[in-house]
Chains A and B, each alone.
Chain A
Amino acid sequence: MTFKQSSVIIALSILMVCAITQSVSALTLVRAGKPQAVIIVDDKTADTVKRAANELQSYVKQVSGALLPIISDASAAPSSQSLIFVGESAGTRERGLVSTDLKPDGYHAVVTTKWMAILGHDYSGVPIYGFRNPWRYQEVYNEDLKLGAFGEAGTLYGVYHFLENACGVRWYMHGKLGEVVPSRKTITIAEGKYDKAPDFTYRYTWFCDFNIAPDEAQWFRHIGYGAPAPVQIIHSFDLLLSTRPELKETHPEYFALIGGQRDFANLSTIIGNGNLCLSNPDVAKEWIAYIDDYFTNHPEQKVFALSPNDGMVKICECADCQAQLSPELGETGKFSNYIWRFVDKVARGVGEKFPDRLVGCIAYESYNSPPNKIDKLSPNTAVMICKSRGSYTDAEYHKKMDAAISNWRKKTVNVYCWEYYLYSWPPWRALPVAFPHIIAQDLKKIRGLSQGEFIESESCQPSDEPGQTWGHINYPGMAHLDHYITARCLWDADTDVDKLLNEYYTLFYGPAQKDMKQFWTLTESIWNKKTDGYPINVYTSAHIQELNSCLELAKQHTAKGSVYRQRIELIDNEFAKGRAKMFGTEGRKPPVMTIRQNDSIVHLGSNLMQPAWQNCNSVGFINKDGSPSDIATLLYATSDPEALLFTFISNEPSITKLKAAATKRDQITRPGLWEDDSVELYLSPNPDNRSDCYQFIVNSKGVLLDMHRSGIAVGKNDSKWNSHVQTKAWKESDRWIVQLRIPFKDLGITEPFAGKKLAANFYRNRYCGKSATQSCWAPIPTTPKYSPDLFGTLTIGGE
């Protein structure tokens, strides 16, 4: 931590304290809900500075109720009012404040008893965007908001930090639901002078399209993402042919020789449009001219990409190119000397005219390792190292990437990282993934080694899901935490992540903070222990149950409709989708079963080898959430002219612990039947009127509870209703069996014709295990078992 950064933290801490204690050496902006200050902003200032002033006014109003006027001329302010200078202006210059001495995106903040000023480096030119995605105009600039991802915005960040530290505002997630805006009738801050700049210059996360998703775009800046300019380091060799197709005819020798042909397409790369002969000196000259032209026309740009097309499996087969192969560097480095020698050569050429601009290449595929025949790259060469810190749970990979960064740093100071936070895409989509401590530790370690990072998140390709759209954060409940932590640590790599997380749990979840702390802590713990890349092997059933319990408790501890409950429900709804995907139950239709008709009466009995059971259909039970059950239950169903017949075979490794306390029919007083190991049936004779439903519970002693439900609401059942159902039950060494014979007449079915349908569900209630569990035929992710809409369908007759 630098001295300046230390002073910032101390100063901000003082601000926080003074906001409460109202120190004498302080500036009061709002007192008892009345404005005590005016905001001064230059008319001709940058758009981000105007935004800073407007947001300062807006959030102070939301916090205190006081509307601080915005004016451009400090002399017009009433003498009774304090002055808040936002951005550089005549007022700040009169006071000797300038922003020229700051690092990129940095700002000064000065507070006296009469005025305060926040000013930084602020870009005011044309919108900055790159030559291809992910930096295209519409992706990184919103015309309505006049807000972009790029261009320095020191004053804006200064105001945001003021709102966080002096007013208590937080932006944990995009949109209103993601904001925390406390209520403070008086806002007073202590005198002080401090400045701040981010630890990493490049902080670009690709989680939204600015034009499509204004809420996400504003959140991007609120939490500190941004950069002076895009670091456009991506595949680019194709640019030469796509912008100058005549080269195929005029200079075929520029292109790689593969199998005796020039590669104008994809003879040597998976993504084609031309691979190049890099040993040809004219190719380097072409690129130097091309890049010179680009920088001449784009003075706002700092970096140009010079990287092979994706999936380069071969290089040019001419003798001069082949002589540059480096087999000694293995699969990750055999092309390194070849590619990086060329990049270095072009960079030196570009540097003659544009010494302050960078030419960059990705460290990727077989040019991933640093070249061993180049000691130092040209000072204007940049490398983009592809890495995934989410995979740092693999110690070997972590070690390898640390070494890569360190080794590349010996070749150039211009090291950038291409990060992957693709957890809103298969296979992790809608599942809880968080690794805040890895983020904090990694950024602390690479501060000073890396200039910053591009984070490829979920907007990299159109969503393939119905209802989800391109360019948004589609699973904000799951994704917001890692993005927030990353943004904060990119600004200050010394951030105390535990403190930050505790504050997040407290402010974001209110009365459910303990439950949600447990949820996210368990999520991180699961991630840290993962040993493979398939969710089905990472999240055990016990994990899922525990995570669900956290969310259920969190909901119980928050008021319905409150912001806290809404945030928890957002996460819960996403998780429900993730679970369904993981278990393959998403989109699964309710189950169906055909019940055969026997011509003669079928009697209950332990001989299950009789033809009625041998020829019937059967189903196996699953857990309520659709996942496989560890303890099997089979249901066999058949019918005769008068009744439906069911046999439940419940496998039971703890057969001696079976609970069977109820001994009387319809025993609903404790010990009730519902607390016994039992099987349970719901039958609706008319699938179009499922609220008319009959319920039967039978324990392992054959004791029956039968009810007629006339409505969905709990309490609208009729336990006094009695059927003529016969039951039989017996135990074996490792299973127990229950049979029921349910007369059609009891269900109001007068004619059980072939094709007659019933809506139904079946459960096994298991109490003899370590904890009570329920398995069923038709999965019901909701809590109540009586969920008629999710019933399956029984059809009488047929095969």
Chain B
Amino acid sequence: MNICYKHSLWFAAILVLATSCAIATTATLKPGGPEDIGSGPTVLTHLYSPGGLGGLGYILGQPNTLTRNDRVLVRFDISKLLLQPKAAGRLMHAEMKFKMDGAYIRDISSTVEVTHLALDTAGGLVGTDMVREPAPVVGKLQVNEPKIVKYTLDVTKFVRSDLAKGRKFTSYRWRDLTAEEKGNTFLSPWFVRLVGDASDMPTLELTFEDGRKAK
């Protein structure tokens, strides 16, 4: 695959790639700000925090002595892609990449579930989105090491669905199934963290068929 030229810029980069038969355009999207990534307790959804929980960041599980069952929400703005017709049909592949830190999992392997929010979050991510159903499962991941690990999930069908519905955002939810099942039996912080530093946000990498022939 050869990189031909830089096509446009937003949040990250869109590149047009030449393949043997067609031109493919790639785009890398990131959350645009605190309104696009946040976390909070599902037991008190009105305490959802855009931008995460104070100095702790984006928490899954129990960040204090209570059973809070915190979850994380992330969305990516795909509206620019909709300026061209039939964006969903042209989407070839979509991957979500992110890192998680298992430093607070207390010797227990946590199963983290990532789901797709099957709704339009154009009005903003809100606390009730942390519990709203349906939220089809994108994938389940094991977090069992106290260090930052990179994960990749194929989200093609979900992004394609959001593009087909003309939604401004494609949105996802993280939860720690193990922490939610056990509750806070430790009576102390016990959580997995989604890494969301300004320079290390979750990303959505998209590849489109451009419709043109490679030269």
Contacts and interface: CB of A to CB of B under 8 A. Distances in A.
Interface of A: 270, 426-427, 532, 534-537, 581-586, 588, 608-609, 613-614, 618-622, 626-630, 632-634, 636, 649-651, 732-735, 779
A633 B168 CA distance: 8
A146 to B, nearest CB: 40
A632 B122 contact: yes
Most central of A532, A627, A628 by chain B CB within 10 Å = A628
B83 A537 contact: no
Contacts of B84: 608-609
A582 B85 contact: no
Given A583-B128, A618-B77, A630-B120, 17 more contacts: A426-B44, A427-B45, A537-B133, A584-B126, A584-B128, A584-B129, A585-B123, A613-B83, A614-B83, A619-B168, A620-B79, A620-B122, A622-B123, A628-B120, A628-B123, A632-B120, A634-B166
Contacts of A636: 79, 83
Contacts of A650: 166
A688 B45 CA distance: 35
Contacts of A622: 120, 122-123
B132 A537 contact: yes
Contacts of A584: 45-46, 48, 124, 126-129
A629 B119 CA distance: 8
Contacts of B123: 583, 585, 620, 622, 626-628, 779
Contacts of B8: 614
Given A270-B187, A426-B44, A620-B123, A609 B83 contact: yes
Interface size classification for chain B: 20 to 34
Given A621-B122, A632-B165, A582 B128 contact: yes
Contacts of A632: 120, 122, 165-168
Contacts of B12: none
B169 interface: yes
B178 interface: no
Contacts of A619: 122, 168
A734 B82 CA distance: 12
B132 A620 contact: no
Given A620-B168, A628-B119, A628-B120, A608 B83 contact: yes
A315 B153 CA distance: 46
B131 interface: yes
Given A426-B46, A581-B46, A537 B122 contact: no
Nearest to A584: B126
A648 to B, nearest CB: 11
A780 to B, nearest CB: 13
Nearest to A622: B123
- Please name the 4 residue pairs, one residue from A and one from B, whose CB atoms are nearest each other, closest first: A620-B122, A584-B126, A651-B166, A620-B168
Contacts of A621: 122
B121 interface: yes
B165 A651 contact: yes
Nearest to B118: A628
Contacts of A537: 131-133
A532 B83 contact: no
Given A585-B126, A620-B79, A634-B79, A534 B168 contact: no
Given A583-B126, A584-B126, A735-B166, A618 B79 contact: yes
Nearest to B126: A584
B208 to A, nearest CB: 13
